[in-house]
Amino acid sequence: MKRQMLHDLIENAGGCAVTDGGFATQLEKHGASINDPLWSAIYLIKDPHLIKQVHLEYLEAGADILVTSSYQGLSIEEGESLLEKSVKLAVEARDGFWNSAIINPGNKYRRALVAASIGSYGSYLADGSEYSGCYGPDVNLKKLKDFHRRRLQVLVEAGPDLLAFETIPNKLEAQACVELLEEESVKIPSWICFTTVDGENAPSGESFKDCLEALNKSNKVDAVGINCAPPHLMENLICKFKQLTKKAIIVYPNSGEVWDGKAKKWLPSKCFHDDEFGFNATRWRDLGAKIIGGCCRTTPSTIQIISNALREKS
Ligand SMILES: C[S+](C)CC[C@H](N)C(=O)O
Ligand SMILES: N[C@@H](CCS)C(=O)O
Ligand SMILES: [Zn+2]
């Protein structure tokens, strides 16, 4: 049953599954220029092969979940077909990789799931507000639902295994996402991830207790957690979320660099190097995280280290 897919994956992975790392970051490692309102989705037009290659690199590194390149961008005419294409490319990468893996007697991989990325309204605004939570007085629940509805419909129609709401910075948008999942009768699992700056609250200043209220009440939400926040904040947040929800907890932090929304670049800050992700991933798992990966400024080598650490016999 589709609804069970995410929980089955977690169980098959021994209680903690690995999601992939920064998608745009890895595109950039290949020389891509993503300084565009569509962000990584621009490569759906410019170079779809590169999109598939990045997915394959994350699969090789041990990712159990691929997040599609649909984080930003439906604001252009061909937006709908691009969204479909983002799912198709990830599914093709997954299927090709899996068909080769299973004929290998020493296969150590699991069949990965494809999660359709739905970035926050703030990411579309491209003003850094996915890290501030400040959408201004004109943004209400209806506006956020109107913004997300069509993209959600098109992505679900394209046939991913699950939906990944990413970098949600406030309670209102979390509520909009849940209401849409209910209204659209979405049958596949979903996760909703928040950003945070202080490691205690959502960027808007609202408590995670408040932000999680609507999510906890809905059986359309399978996992909740944090993405694209500094890794040193994860321990405290996992403990906090354990008190606030019975849902599976997911963390996929960035490297610790901070996004400057005006200058459009990552600024150095308190970072984890790849080798620190291994030990920390085992800590996060032991504290109760059920899905662990990386976000911006992490790469397949980060995911390889996480995957190796989580699969080592303890
Ligand atoms: C994950 S953030 C760094 C994505 C980019 C941002 N929304 C922008 O368009 O500038
Ligand atoms: N899935 C997106 C998230 C950005 S915060 C990416 O990895 O580029
Ligand atoms: Zn990120």
Q: What is the CATH number of the domain that holds 81?
A: 3.20.20.330
Span 87-145, pLDDT tens digits: 999 999 999 999 999 999 999 999 999 999 999 999 999 999 999 999 999 999 999 99
Residue 73 has pLDDT above 90, yes or no: no
Span 271-286, pLDDT tens digits: 999 999 999 999 999 9
Ligand nearest to the CA of 38: 1
Nearest atom of ligand 1 to the alpha carbon of 295: 1
Determine the structural domain holding residue 102 and report its residue range.
2-311
pLDDT band at 314 (very low <50, low <70, confident <90, very high): very low
How many domains would you assign to the chain? 1
| Interface predicted TM-score (ipTM) of this complex, two decimals | 0.98
Nearest atom of ligand 2 to the alpha carbon of 117: 1
pLDDT band at 299 (very low <50, low <70, confident <90, very high): very high
d(CA 176, CA 183): 10
Residue labelled with tokens 């969204």: 83
Identify the pLDDT of residue 312: 85
Residue of the CA atom closest to atom 6 of ligand 2: 23
Q: Sort strands 265-267 and 65-67 into parallel, antiparallel or unpaired.
A: unpaired
d(CA 250, CA 238): 8
* E strand intervals along the chain: 17-18, 65-67, 113-119, 162-168, 190-194, 223-227, 248-252, 258-260, 265-267, 289-292
Distance 179 CA to ligand 2 centre (A): 23
Determine the residue of 39, 42, 67, 260 to mutate for testing ligand 1's pocket, defined as the one with the most ligand atoms within 8 A of the Cβ atom: 39
Give the mean model confidence (pLDDT) for residues 190-212.
Answer: 98
What are 63's two structure tokens? 């990712």
